[in-house]
Copies of this chain bind each other. A is one copy, B any other.
Amino acid sequence: MPVEQRAAGVQSVQRALDILEVAEAAGGGCSISAMAAATGLPLPTIHRLVQTLTARGYLRQLPDRRYCLGSRLVPLGAGANALLGERAAPVLRELADGLGESANLAVLAGERAEYVAQAPGVYSMRTFTEVGRRVPLYCTGVGKALLSALGDDEARAILRRSTLSTHTATTIVELDALLDELAAIRARGYAFDEGEMEVGVRCVAMPVSVPGMAPMALSVSGPAVRMSDDLTGRAAPALVRACAALATALT
């Protein structure tokens, strides 16, 4: 028995999940010995677990004998996404009704933000976000909120890998400027999008962090003509309450 008491649970399942997560972190592919190094487990143990996961399609063996995430995870991920949206719907609706503008929920999917739920605002001219749509992180409210919730190092690494292209006159494309922006968001608690992705769209976004869950962000967005400073001022406390409600609904 190890000197310290690890988190309770079924040992081999814990280890299998560790392996999945190592494979995820590795991205391109991961050898059995690399997994052993990453998890601290002996090779035969890894091998046995990997066999099981591969047989079920949760891992895939590449021609060079390394392993990567398997496609059986795709429908599971999609299912989890759909459920998230379902649970969040009432919270979003209340937020949208209270402020009059569309409310959106996004999760971090890979290196983009994916909208998983949306409640339309009350006006006929409003922003419309398609559930399932993925948008860049650096030039959207939810994206910047998600980045701010990650560590500074991780955010920097993602931004380095991204192509920072100019969508509008206000898009921030300098790495340093973006990092400053993230620091400001962390200090303030929420992010603005001043038409950085699409001209005339203003957005207030807040990171939602629920322990043990993928990072999420909640936002309210609408035409800049209606998204006055007054409205964004009222949006902030409403978002705080909605985040708390979400945390409760999803826990």
Contacts and interface: CB of A to CB of B under 8 A. Distances in A.
A17 B57 CA distance: 10
A83 B68 contact: yes
A79 B24 contact: yes
A17 B13 CA distance: 9
A107 interface: yes
- Count of this chain's copies in the oligomeric assembly: 2
A224 interface: no
Interface stretch (A47-55, A94-102, A183-191, A233-241): A47-55
A73 B82 contact: no
Contact of A24 (B51, B53, B76): B76
A134 interface: yes
Interface stretch (A108-116, A149-157, A195-203): A108-116
Interface of A: 7-10, 12-14, 16-17, 20-21, 24, 27-28, 48-49, 51-53, 55-58, 60, 68-84, 86, 107-110, 112, 114, 132-134, 212-214, 216, 250
